Amino acid sequence: MKLNQAVSERLLQLLAERNMTQYQLYMKSGVPKSTVSNIINCSYDSVKLRIIHEICQGMEIGLDTFFVSPLFQEDNLDP
């Protein structure tokens, strides 16, 4: 799995856990709706850590919580 796919999948998991829509995330984080959509649709090859941090702030979680997932284990990521 590519890193951008892991970020997309993790974001979808966290949104579902919080019963939160992309629109609600945009409103709480300030990250543009188009950026959230592009991350989820894997339109970017990579995502800036600053954007992930802003998303985490909108979901009221830390970066550590975002990245604590088997999705980000080295064995699961393509080089």
How does pLDDT run across 3-28, given as a tens digit for each residue?
A: 999 999 999 999 999 999 999 999 99
Average pLDDT, the chain: 96
Can you give the three-state secondary structure of the chain, one letter per residue? CCHHHHHHHHHHHHHHHCCCCHHHHHHHHCCCHHHHHHHHCCCCCCCCHHHHHHHHHHHCCCHHHHHCCHHHCHHHCCC
